[in-house]
């Protein structure tokens, strides 16, 4: 697969006012979110939910690519049209989550390592044939008293790099997602320190594994204090800490950075992305957009509640959030 093709796909994903839609919750995560709002946790309800999302009128005005889960990439809408075809018809590139989840890292209490490299080459071929043109792999880094350890950071960085190489071999753009999670009471400064360390390790591993940086997208966390911290930084402070960290660690050849939301309230996730563009548009060498799941879907999920009569209103809520983030990508979001 030529570099130009990967570069083209990455360019399409990052174009204009668009971002990515992470609708790739695993069965377990999706069921957990359903349970919280009283939706039955069955395959049919998960299919109905994804049907609501992909059939949201106007979605393609703000979304360039949608990340699917293994179950979802094989599913179809009520009228029998595969979800993949509906996305393509709306100018949205289908993508696929290919990691198999983060499990406890043996010997390293409180830390995680992501699984899924076994058989990855064959799985990617299969997903490519189904229409996927990019993939996602999430690594989880936790901040705590004695963690993250250098070993956990390195192991996850190497695994991300191996995954990325497999993707490029198969003609899919790898979305490389090292998430420093918000759990804990750490400061914004601590998050900046750990995120910097993690990104250095990830780009070092990508280089050593001969990954073409022009044919990938980075999906990082924003630099934020932990959920349990009393710090309440302004959007301005978050923007500054985050972009400074990236300018030190992310090579200019990387075409795009697409944020995860990580549990931030929906409005804040838009406001912070907006602020980064307002303040730093003229110094950023890469594109900067969103690849949110909770921060765009949660309001819609709470409206839908599994009921057909709520579909239209839920779709409007979803479209509203993606439109807000589309505006934020242009530095034009206002509440």
Beta bridge partners of 57: none
136, 96 contact by CB (below 8 A): yes
Q: Which is nearer to ligand 13P, 155 or 273 (CB)?
A: 273
Beta bridge partners of 175: 136, 217
Other C-beta atoms lying within 10 Å of the C-beta of residue 196 = 17
Cα–Cα distance for residue pair 67/175, rounded to 1 Å: 10
Annotation marks residue 177 as catalytic: yes
- Shortest approach of ligand 13P to residue 3 CB, angstroms? 26
If one asks whether residue 257 binds ligand 13P (CB under 6 A), the answer comes out as: no
Other C-beta atoms lying within 10 Å of the C-beta of residue 92 = 22
Binding residue for ligand 13P, selected from 56, 261, 270, 289, defined by CB under 6 A: 261
Q: Which is nearer to ligand 13P, 81 or 101 (CB)?
A: 101
Contact mark string toward ligand 13P, 210..249, x via CB under 6 A: ----------------------------------------
Q: What is the DSSP letter of 335?
A: -
SS3 for 178?
Answer: strand
If one asks whether residue 266 binds ligand 13P (CB under 6 A), the answer comes out as: no
Active-site residue (options: 18, 48, 219, 329): 219
- Span interacting with ligand 13P, options 34-42, 182-190, 291-299, 323-331, rule CB under 6 A: 291-299
Annotation marks residue 111 as catalytic: no
Crossing angle of helices 311-329 and 294-304, in 10° steps, is: 160
Cα–Cα distance for residue pair 262/264, rounded to 1 Å: 6
- Span interacting with ligand 13P, options 109-117, 119-127, 288-296, 307-315, rule CB under 6 A: 288-296
- Shortest approach of ligand 13P to residue 79 CB, angstroms? 28
Binding residue for ligand 13P, selected from 132, 276, 295, 318, defined by CB under 6 A: 295
SS3 for 85?
Answer: helix
Q: Which is nearer to ligand 13P, 3 or 186 (CB)?
A: 186
Q: Which is nearer to ligand 13P, 5 or 95 (CB)?
A: 95
Which residues inside 87-146 make contact with ligand 13P, applying CB under 6 A?
Answer: 138
Q: Which is nearer to ligand 13P, 51 or 179 (CB)?
A: 179
Nearest to 222 by CA among 285, 272, 279: 272
Nearest to 217 by CA among 173, 165, 251: 173
Token pair for 27: 């069965």
- Shortest approach of ligand 13P to residue 261 CB, angstroms? 3
If one asks whether residue 22 binds ligand 13P (CB under 6 A), the answer comes out as: yes
- Shortest approach of ligand 13P to residue 21 CB, angstroms? 9
Beta bridge partners of 259: 290
113, 153 contact by CB (below 8 A): no
Binding residue for ligand 13P, selected from 64, 114, 274, 293, defined by CB under 6 A: 293
Sign of CA dihedral 118, 121, 122, 124: positive
Q: Which is nearer to ligand 13P, 184 or 262 (CB)?
A: 262
Cα–Cα distance for residue pair 43/248, rounded to 1 Å: 44
If one asks whether residue 292 binds ligand 13P (CB under 6 A), the answer comes out as: yes
> Residues with catalytic annotation?
177, 219
Query: Which positions lie near ligand 13P, rule CB under 6 A?
Result: 22, 138, 177, 260-262, 292-295
């Amino acid at each position: 697969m030529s570099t130009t093709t990967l570069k083209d796909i990455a360019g399409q994903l990052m174009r204009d006012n668009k971002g990515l839609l992470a609708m790739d919750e695993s069965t377990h995560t999706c069921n957990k979110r359903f349970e919280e709002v009283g939706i039955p946790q069955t395959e049919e309800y998960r299919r109905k939910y994804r049907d609501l999302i992909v059939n949201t009128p106007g979605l393609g005005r703000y979304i360039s690519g949608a990340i699917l889960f293994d179950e979802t990439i094989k599913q179809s809408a009520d009228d029998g049209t595969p979800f993949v075809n509906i996305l393509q018809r709306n100018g949205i590139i289908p993508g696929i989550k290919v990691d198999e989840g983060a499990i406890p890292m043996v010997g390293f209490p409180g830390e995680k390592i992501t699984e899924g490299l076994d058989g990855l080459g064959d799985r990617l071929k299969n997903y490519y044939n189904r229409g996927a043109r990019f993939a996602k792999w999430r690594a989880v880094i936790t901040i705590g008293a004695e963690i993250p350890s250098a070993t956990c950071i390195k192991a996850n960085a190497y695994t991300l790099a191996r995954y990325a190489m497999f993707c490029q071999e198969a003609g899919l753009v790898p979305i490389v997602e090292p998430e420093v999670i918000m759990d804990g009471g750490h400061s914004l400064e601590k998050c900046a320190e750990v995120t910097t360390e993690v990104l250095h390790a990830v780009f070092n591993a990508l280089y050593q594994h001969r990954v073409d940086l022009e044919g990938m997208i980075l999906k990082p966390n924003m630099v934020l204090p932990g959920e349990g911290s009393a710090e309440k930084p302004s959007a301005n402070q978050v923007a500054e800490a985050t972009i400074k960290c990236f300018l030190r660690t992310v090579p200019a050849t990387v075409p795009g950075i697409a944020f995860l939301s990580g549990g931030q309230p929906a409005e804040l996730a838009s406001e912070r992305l907006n602020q980064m563009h307002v303040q730093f548009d003229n110094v950023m060498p890469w594109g900067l957009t969103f690849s949110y799941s909770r921060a765009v879907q949660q309001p819609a999920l709470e409206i839908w509640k599994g009921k057909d009569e709520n579909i239209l209103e839920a779709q409007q809520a979803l479209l509203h959030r993606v439109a807000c983030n589309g505006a934020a990508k242009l530095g034009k979001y206002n509440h």
